[in-house]
Structure formats: C-alpha cells, structure tokens
C-alpha cells in the first residue's frame, strides 16, 4: 500500500494534492484496496460547489457503493471523465490516472483539518487493530 | 446449458393455430409494420418443458439446501400456509369487492384477516396500530419515514435530517433520502454499538428521527437502546425500528416498549412468508398512539355490530401508498403462521434462532475472527481477515461453500467489518445441518492455510464456474443476440 508523502489525507480515505488555490483529489490506495474492483464512479459536475467532508462523488465496487467526501470546500473546475468508461484506473493508479476532480479552494485554512502522510499512515494502522 | 434461443430451429413450433375464420384486414399503416420478424425462439413444446425444468433444477433454494444468508432470515416456509392461501374464499376474491355497495359483506373473512393481523403484529411488537398495505420492506420503510414527516409537519416543525448508524441496512438511508431528509451517519464504537458521543453531537432540533435496528446488523443487542430512545425523544425526534432483525427477539422484547415510535416488518423474514426474489413482498408498518391518524388509507375497522369495513375518511392520513390492501396472500400466510405457532411457538422460534447462531459462532470462532463480542443474537458476523493473510478472501470461502452444497453467508456486509461473513442459520435448521455446515467452514479455513488455490478456483461443481463479477458489472451483457 502506498501513501505518497506530498499529499494530504482525510479520515474517509481521500487524498488531496495542493497546487496554489487549486486541489486535485481522489481516493487513496487503501480505499481502492478495501473496495475491491471498482465498477462505476459518479462524479460531480464541473461548476458544482462542494463542501469539506460532504458528499462529492460515489464509488461502486463489486462489494459496495461508497460515498466520497470533498477534502476541501470550493468549486469543481474539472473532473476526470476517463473514469466514466474506465473506473479500473482508480484500482490501477489511485494517485495519478485515477484522480477524481480538481477543485478551486475557497478556504485554504481547511487544510488544518487534514492529515499528512505520516498521520494518515498511523491512522490506518490504528484501524486494523 | 444452452439458452432457449440457441435451441431454436427454423420452422419448429409447439402450437397449432386454427384457421382464420374472419376476413384478413390489410392496410396497417407502414409505420406500425415491423421491418423484420421478431427474434423469438422456434422450439417444440417438449423443448420448452425440458428447458425450463432443467433450469429450475439449477435453482438453489431453502427447499433444497441450507441457506444461512445473514440479515435475510431464510427460514423454511411451512407449506400449510400455501394450502390456506389456495382456499377459494381467499384466492377468488376480487380486490375491488369491499368497495362495491354491499360487497364488503362478501369479503368479511378477508377483512377480518387484515384486521386481526394488524392486532397480532401490534401485540408482538408493542405498537398501537399497524397498516399491512406496504408491498415490501423498503416500501414499508418509505411509508414509515413519510409518517414521521407528516407528524412533524402537522406539528409545524421543519426537521431536516435522520440519524442512521454506519452499520445500517442500505435501505435506511435510501428511504430517508427519498422522503426528502438528509442523512447523518453515526460511526460504530469499538464494541460494535452506536457511538454515543457522536450520536449526542448529531442529535438536535433538526433531527426528525433516528433509524435503528436492534439487534443491529452485527447481530448484537444494544444495551443502551433505551437511553438512545430517551435522548431522541427529548430532542423531539422519533425512533424508527427496522424490523429486519425481529426474528431474534420475539416474545423477549417489544420495540414499542423500548421507545420505538415507528416500525416496519419484513413478513418474509420473521413470519415465514416466501422470499419473493422481487415480489410479492409485504412490509407492514406499526406506529405508536400519536402517529395512528397519519397511517395510509384505507384502514380496516370493526363496526359496533362486529362486521368489518374499510374506512377512507381519515383527513390526517398520508393518503394512498399502494392499491388495495397490500399483498393479501402474503399477509394471510403470515397470519396463518402466527396463529399456528402461537405465543409459545414464536418465542421458541426466536430462542432457537439465537441458539443456532451462537452455536455456529462458538464452533467457528477459533477458525475465523468474530467481528465483535463473545455472543450474538440471531446471526453471527465472522471475519476472514486471518485467511486474507494467505490471500484467501471471504468471496473464495463463499464460492467453496457452494461446491459443498451450502448457500454462502452474506459477505462484505456489514461494510464496517473487514472480509465480513454474516451467518444467519435460523431456527428451522437441525443440529446435524449446522454441524455439516460448520465442518465445511472449518475445512475451508484449513484449505486457506494448506491449499489456497482450491478456494480460489471454486466453484467447480456448478454449471458455471467462477464468474468475473468485475467484468459483469463493468460491461453488463444482458441480452442474447444472434451471432
């Protein structure tokens, strides 16, 4: 399981890659591994407003359907339309080709509520106890 | 096995039409005419009989095999209820008869069945009244949430969300959302119960209801259920009971007594009516005193002379939620089942259901990690987390069970348990059947260590082998096309 160092993480297993006032987001390697083979992804529409820790996408796998929550509040700038036809990209490349959306951040302070890679790693270890 | 389309041979047929003895009318407008003949199989009557008989023999059912599908209460449905349903006086009734002038007097027996069933379900669950109209459990849930919404609206309150634990049945949040509520999900604590701190934080003046099942989906009874209900009531919220797990507590505990205001029941679970596989189902809804006026119409009433009638004049009612009076045949079967077992029989059924599940848990806990706790109610949740270390998933164990003649338990639910296997044996299985199942489960655990490949390749004895579930979900191919 990989946890890249340069990203921020949520307790619901989303990752966030900051770039100025923009953030690229997706679900973590741990999340895709727990879900199993992903079969369908419902993404927000560009222009949609999302709120931190609130619903922004839905992921369906052979095991379950799960909600994905936005790591930051803001406006969706673009989404990864590749995922519609190729949801398996999230299984294959959770942090790169499997990105979900780019969001224009409305409040950068929200990053204080997220974890860094070390904290996220500890958080996951705590879960499996 | 070939599809019936693949058995088709041009010109073969299983019927002989009489000669046309009326004039043939020509001139059907072009736009209504087919460009090519429909692609229907051309087969003989014997082809059809063999095809469907063989297909039915592939069916896996409670009538043929043990079926411990957790949360579904796949108990055996005694056949005497079928006989009662087939009685002419019930099966030949026209559903509009009670609405015909004087017709109600010709349907007194059926109306009495509905009336009495509502009373019996009220007594069993501790509720004040029931409607038997909802046509399935999920429909009952939606009806229940609509009753909650109607109640708050009548009191001039605009409550916005419904609190639901993360271990709930998926239909709970779905029903709440369809009825227009936001869903607030509460996590499960380390003991497998609703996290009380998170619950207290989420509960406020905007909470319309708290939806719970008890025992919960982990098969454990929440000892703080009364406290949860008292807190909800203090905040002005209502308590909703998902009756999916009622089979564990008949005669031991009544949801109405521990503070639940609305409840739906799945007659096909606790009351041994057939699991429809799409219908017909029945999801009666019970309510406490203050919600009675909101129940859907019509209501079955008993007149002062002892006769029964349908009452449509309820101005606070949420209105019609289904045509007629629910799936009458299903309600009738549940009524017959309740009467036949009686109070002591129902209590014994629950006791044996709980005993069977605990027996499975006790004998399997050294092989598979129990999700929570030392004991359980009517179902036990085990985890294949240990087996995962050998690369064996709950899915592999499930497929192996099929090879050995057992329906797999529910897997990957509840979602909060890693590699979950949820076993609900029910009260209708003998100790010998449970032992045979347990032995195969133990065998699977030992294969996981010695020969995981044997589990990965299962099932081998079925007409189809391991299916590619991912491909089926990603590229569904549901329609046969000629090559």
The burial class, CB within 10 Å (0-12 / 13-18 / 19+), for B39 is: exposed
Residue B422 three-state SS: strand
Return the pLDDT at A128: 64
- Quote ipTM for the complex: 0.72
- To the question of domain B351-471 being in CATH 3.90.1150.10, the answer is yes
Contact B412 A39 (CB under 8 A): no
- Report the gap between the CA of B189 and the closest CA in chain A (Å): 12
Domain boundaries, given as residue ranges, for chain B: 80-339, 351-471
Residue B211: pLDDT over 90: yes
CATH number of B80-339: 3.40.640.10
pLDDT digits 0-9 by tens, A63-101: 888 899 999 999 999 999 999 999 999 999 999 999 999
Percent over 90 (pLDDT), chain B: 79
Contact B412 A64 (CB under 8 A): yes
Return the pLDDT at B278: 54
Contact A62 B473 (CB under 8 A): yes
Return the pLDDT at B470: 87
Equal CATH topology for B80-339 and B351-471: no
- Report the gap between the CA of A96 and the closest CA in chain B (Å): 21
pLDDT digits 0-9 by tens, B392-417: 999 999 999 999 999 999 998 887 88
Contact A62 B469 (CB under 8 A): yes
Asked if B167 and B216 touch (Cβ cutoff 8 Å), the reply is: yes
- Report the gap between the CA of B469 and the closest CA in chain A (Å): 7
Contact B469 A37 (CB under 8 A): yes
Asked if B182 and B161 touch (Cβ cutoff 8 Å), the reply is: yes
Contact A63 B412 (CB under 8 A): yes
Return the pLDDT at B25: 83
Return the pLDDT at B368: 97
In B365-430, which ranges are continuous DSSP H helix? 385-388, 394-403
Return the pLDDT at B385: 93
- Range in A45-59, B38-52, B422-436, B469-483 the model is least confident about: B469-483
Backbone angles phi, psi at A104, to 5 degrees: -85, 115
Best of A38, A62, A126 to mutate (most B CBs within 10 Å, chain B): A62
Residue A129: pLDDT over 60: no
pLDDT digits 0-9 by tens, B127-179: 999 999 999 999 999 999 999 999 999 999 999 999 999 888 889 999 999 99
Instruction: Label residue B277 by pLDDT band (50, 70, 90).
Output: low
Cis preceding linkage at B215, omega within 30:
yes
Best of B412, B416, B420 to mutate (most A CBs within 10 Å, chain A): B412
Nearest CA to B384 out of B412, B342, B404 is that of B412
Q: How do B420-423 and B380-383 pair as beta strands?
A: antiparallel
Contacts of A55 in chain B (CB under 8 A): none
Q: Which of residues 21-80 of A touch B (CB under 8 A)?
A: 34, 37, 39-40, 60, 62-66
Contacts of A62 in chain B (CB under 8 A): 469-470, 473
Instruction: Label residue B279 by pLDDT band (50, 70, 90).
Output: low
Determine how many CB atoms are found less than 10 A away from the CB of residue B19: 4
Residue B364 three-state SS: helix
Return the pLDDT at B99: 86
Q: How far apart are CA B476 and CA B92, in angstroms?
A: 41
Q: Which residue has the higher pLDDT, B353 or B169?
A: B353
Residue B476: pLDDT over 90: no
Return the pLDDT at B102: 87
**8-state DSSP, B163:** E
Contacts of B415 in chain A (CB under 8 A): 63-64, 66
Instruction: Label residue B192 by pLDDT band (50, 70, 90).
Output: confident
Asked if B146 and B169 touch (Cβ cutoff 8 Å), the reply is: no
DSSP string, B110-124: HHHHHHHHHHHHHHH
Torsion (CA) B267, B273, B278, B279 in degrees, nearest 10? -90
Residue B344: pLDDT over 90: yes
- Range in B18-32, B211-225, B269-283, B449-463 the model is least confident about: B269-283
Give the residue-averaged pLDDT of B211-218.
89
pLDDT digits 0-9 by tens, B41-57: 999 999 999 999 999 88
Q: How far apart are CA B268 and CA B426, in angstroms?
A: 13
């Amino acid at each position: 399981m990989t946890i890249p160092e340069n990203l921020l993480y949520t307790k619901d297993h989303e990752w966030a890659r900051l770039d100025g006032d923009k953030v690229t987001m997706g679900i973590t390697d741990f999340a895709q591994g727990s879900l199993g083979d992903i079969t369908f992804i419902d993404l927000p529409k560009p222009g949609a407003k999302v709120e931190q820790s609130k619903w922004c996408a839905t992921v369906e796998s052979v095991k379950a359907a799960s909600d994905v929550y936005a790591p930051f509040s803001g406006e969706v700038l673009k989404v990864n339309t590749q995922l519609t036809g190729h949801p398996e990209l999230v299984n294959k490349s959770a942090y790169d080709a499997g990105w979900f959306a780019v969001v224009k951040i409305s409040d950068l302070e929200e990053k204080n509520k997220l974890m860094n890679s070390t904290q996220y790693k500890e958080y996951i270890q705590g879960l499996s106890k | 096995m070939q599809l019936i389309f693949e058995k088709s041979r041009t010109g073969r047929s299983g019927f002989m039409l009489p000669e046309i003895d009326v004039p043939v009318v020509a001139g059907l407008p072009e736009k209504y005419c087919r460009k090519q003949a429909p692609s229907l199989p051309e087969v003989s009557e014997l082809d059809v009989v063999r095809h469907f008989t063989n297909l039915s023999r592939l069916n896996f059912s409670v009538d043929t095999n043990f079926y411990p599908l957790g949360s579904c209460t796949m108990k055996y449905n005694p056949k005497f209820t079928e006989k009662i349903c087939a009685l002419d006086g019930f099966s030949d009734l026209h559903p509009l008869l009670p609405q015909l002038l004087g017709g109600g007097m010709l349907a007194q027996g059926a109306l009495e069945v509905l009336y009495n069933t509502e009373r019996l379900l009220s007594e069993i669950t501790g509720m004040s009244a029931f409607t038997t109209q909802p046509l399935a459990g999920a429909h009952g849930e939606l009806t229940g949430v609509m009753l909650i919404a109607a109640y708050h609206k009548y009191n001039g309150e605009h409550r916005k969300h419904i609190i639901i634990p993360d271990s709930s049945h998926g239909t709970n949040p779905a029903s709440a959302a369809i009825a227009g509520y936001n869903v607030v999900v509460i996590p499960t604590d380390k003991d497998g119960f609703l996290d009380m701190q998170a619950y207290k934080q989420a509960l406020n003046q905007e909470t319309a209801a708290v939806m719970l099942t008890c025992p919960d989906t982990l098969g454990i009874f929440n000892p703080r259920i009364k406290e949860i209900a008292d807190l909800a009531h203090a905040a002005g919220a209502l308590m909703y009971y998902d009756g999916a797990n009622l089979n564990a507590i008949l005669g031991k505990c009544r949801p109405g007594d521990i503070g639940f205001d609305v409840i739906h029941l799945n007659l096909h679970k606790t009351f041994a009516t057939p699991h429809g596989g799409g219908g017909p189902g029945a999801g009666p809804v019970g309510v406490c005193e203050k919600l009675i006026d909101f129940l859907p119409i019509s209501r079955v009433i008993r007149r002062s002379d002892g006769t029964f009638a349908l009452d449509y004049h309820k101005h606070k009612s949420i209105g019609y939620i289904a045509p007629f009076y629910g799936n009458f045949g299903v309600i009738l079967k549940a009524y017959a089942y309740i009467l036949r077992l009686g109070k002591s029989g129902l209590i014994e059924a629950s006791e044996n259901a709980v005993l069977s599940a605990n027996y499975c848990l006790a004998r399997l806990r050294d092989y598979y990690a129990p999700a929570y706790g030392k004991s359980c109610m009517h179902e036990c949740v085990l985890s294949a987390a240990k087996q995962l270390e050998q690369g064996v998933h709950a899915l592999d164990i499930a497929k192996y069970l099929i090879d050995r003649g057992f329906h797999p338990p529910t897997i990957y639910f509840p979602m909060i348990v890693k590699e979950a296997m949820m076993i609900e044996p029910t009260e209708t299985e003998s100790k010998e059947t449970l032992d045979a199942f347990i032995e195969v489960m133990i065998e699977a655990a030992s294969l996981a260590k010695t020969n995981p490949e044997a589990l990965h390749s299962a099932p081998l004895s079925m007409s189809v082998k391991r299916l590619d579930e991912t491909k089926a979900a990603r590229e569904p191919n549901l329609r046969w096309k000629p090559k």
